Amino acid sequence: MKHIKTNGKKLCFFLPFLCIAVLFLFVPFANMLRNSVTGSNGGFSLEHFADVFSKPIYLSAIGNSLSISMKSTMVGLLVDFILAMAVVNLTQKKKSWYLSLLDLTSTFAGLPLTFSFITILGTSGVFVLISKNLGFSPLANYDLYSLEGMFLVYLYFQIPMGTLLLVPAFAEIKKEWREAATLMNCGSLRFWFRIGIPVMMPSIMGTFGMLFANALTAYTTPYLLINNSIALLPVKIADMFVGDVRQRPGLGSALSIVMLAIILAVLGLTNIVKRHFEKGKKS
């Protein structure tokens, strides 16, 4: 009886969080799923999904979002790994300062971030104008308002978050392993490819999944930079709900389901890889 009362108290404690999860996660998802399979006649229909996978504009939006998200995630993960390795080797004072800087930059997004990139790399940006005067053509001809130009913006999203996620993973690399590898004339690169990276792979794959989802769902900064000049999945979803000309919540819900399916598929693949390496560590 006492055990039941204790569990009842715990459930009462978590009840507000459960209500928040239901109201802000499950109810919107159920409504979105219902809208995505409701046709123009009010009955069950897959016409919205047919539009998504048949019209070039939506296929282009999916392709563009997948491309820039995957590229920025791969490059960002490499940069994050190097930065996290450097942070671990810093003194405690410098490490605290650098982690605080990463916390600050990870929250810098939206309109302020857009304005900063326009000021630096826009058509009349500081670096662009300086490069034109110096004759440095790669930066002088930089087009921030293109899919390739926005790569740096997406990369900015990935670096603070990824570094913060990877720093704890380096704690799994024991100092004794490095010392033993050195005694056996094992070079640094060989150590990381044979021992370090495989041990850290579950954390690396988890970080990969987080960075990919972060990039794929990024909306505010890309929208402010390019609006509808380049098709991106989050921008197209928002247009279906708040468009000035025509609102199509059913199609927007279908696009949202597609984006969710892509994220779940990538997370599923990363979890498979994580389990494989976790079993290797246990054995």
d(CA 143, CA 150): 8
pLDDT per residue as tens, the chain (283 positions): 445 555 666 667 777 777 887 777 788 888 888 888 888 787 888 888 998 999 999 999 999 999 999 999 999 999 999 898 888 878 788 888 888 888 878 777 777 888 888 888 888 888 888 888 888 777 888 888 888 888 988 998 888 888 988 888 887 788 777 778 777 777 777 888 888 888 888 889 999 999 999 999 988 888 888 877 888 999 898 888 876 567 788 888 999 999 999 999 999 999 888 888 777 666 5
Structural domain boundaries of the chain?
45-282
Taking the CA atoms of 126, 132, 134 and 135 in sequence, report the sign of the dihedral they define.
Answer: positive
Amino acid 7: pLDDT: 60
d(CA 72, CA 150): 10
Of 168, 233, 262, the residue nearest 207 (C-alpha): 168
Q: At what angle do helices 126-134 and 111-121 cross, to 10 degrees?
A: 10
What CATH architecture is 45-282?
A: Orthogonal Bundle (1.10)
Tell me the residue type at 245: V
pTM assigned to the model: 0.86
Amino acid 73: pLDDT: 93
Amino acid 23: pLDDT: 77
